[in-house]
């Protein structure tokens, strides 16, 4: 395994991002956080990248923020500023602003900020042994993103139980509440993720961006207002729209140009 804390590989129109700090269960320190932000923004501006996949090296997906940072600041008598009070863009903000479809490939524990990272993705595939949780209340922290997203994603009572207790949540429980697209044995995780990604990137890349941006930009809007919001590339005037019609009528696979 490389010494690089974030492994980046573009393959078959997918940017694969692997958190590579297995010795600390892929905890997010400032360097890894910033590297992820840069890689996601760069993927947004790379035409040949149509989707983004995130996973973790070793036995964990991501254990959340590296608490050594908070401890070291406290020891130095300095405050620890949360996500709304520092000079960096939030990783979760960048994730939900991304124009490209995102998939979390959850190979193991996804705790605290690691759970939030998985939640910020559009889709999630998990191994049966994976566990999740938002234990911030037990660490005197905030779970800011999860506090916003979970109560509008699962029934509020369930979300608040998870947030208030910080208990470990089995992958099967997440599947029951509709938070997982696939739940598979660990030895089938990569195959299931690749099959889903292959299906996604077989779609027109501009359509993927428009669908993603429409979903994200209209969140919380009344439907009658949301349907008037014209966001993302105008696929109806694209060359790919013409190609899609031709390919369908000619009974062949389309050859997308991304324009």
Tell me the DSSP string of 98-125.
Answer: -SS-EEEEE-SEEETHHHHHHHHSSEEE
Q: What is the pLDDT along the chain (259 residues), one digit of tens a residue?
A: 456 999 999 999 999 999 999 999 999 999 999 999 999 999 999 999 999 999 999 999 999 988 777 677 678 887 777 777 777 788 999 999 999 999 999 999 999 999 999 999 999 999 999 999 999 999 899 899 999 999 999 999 999 999 999 999 999 999 999 999 999 999 999 999 999 999 999 999 999 999 999 999 998 899 999 999 998 999 999 999 999 999 999 999 999 999 9
Active site residue 136: yes
For residue 52, give the H/E element and its range: strand 51-56
Query: CB neighbours of 218 closer than 8 A, spacing ≥ 6?
Result: 226, 229, 231
* pTM of the entire predicted model: 0.93
Is there a catalytic annotation at residue 250? no
Q: 116, 239, 250, 253: which one is catalytic?
A: 116
- The SS3 assignment for 164 reads helix
Strand order in the sheet with 169-170: 60-62, 109-111, 131-133, 169-170
Yes or no: say if 107 and 61 are a contact pair by the CB < 8 Å rule.
Answer: yes
Say which of 9, 23, 93, 136 is annotated catalytic.
Answer: 136
Q: How many CA atoms lie within 13 A of 125 on its CB side?
A: 22
């Amino acid at each position: 395994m490389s010494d690089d804390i974030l492994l980046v590989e573009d393959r078959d129109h997918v940017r694969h991002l692997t958190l590579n700090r297995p010795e600390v269960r892929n905890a997010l320190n400032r360097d890894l956080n910033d590297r992820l932000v840069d890689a996601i923004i760069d993927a947004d501006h790379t035409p040949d990248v149509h989707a983004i996949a995130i996973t973790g090296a070793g036995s964990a997906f991501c254990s959340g923020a590296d608490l050594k940072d908070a401890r070291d600041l406290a020891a130095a008598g300095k405050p620890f500023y949360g996500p709304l009070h520092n000079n960096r863009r939030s990783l979760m903000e960048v994730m939900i602003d991304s124009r490209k479809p995102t998939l979390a490939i959850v190979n193991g524990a996804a705790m605290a900020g690691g759970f939030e990272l998985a939640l910020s993705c559009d889709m999630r595939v998990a191994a049966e042994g994976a566990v999740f949780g938002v234990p911030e209340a037990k660490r005197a922290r905030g779970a800011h993103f999860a506090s916003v997203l979970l109560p509008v994603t699962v029934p509020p009572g369930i979300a608040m139980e998870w947030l208030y207790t910080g208990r470990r949540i089995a992958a099967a429980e997440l599947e029951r509440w509709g938070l997982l697209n696939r739940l598979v044995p660990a030895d089938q995780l990569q195959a299931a993720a690749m099959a889903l990604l292959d299906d996604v990137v077989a779609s027109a890349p501009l359509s993927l961006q428009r669908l993603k941006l429409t979903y994200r930009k209209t969140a919380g809007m009344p439907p009658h207002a949301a349907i008037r919001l014209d966001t993302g590339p105008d696929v109806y005037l694209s060359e790919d729209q013409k190609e899609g019609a031709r390919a369908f009528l000619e009974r062949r696979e389309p050859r997308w140009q991304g324009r």
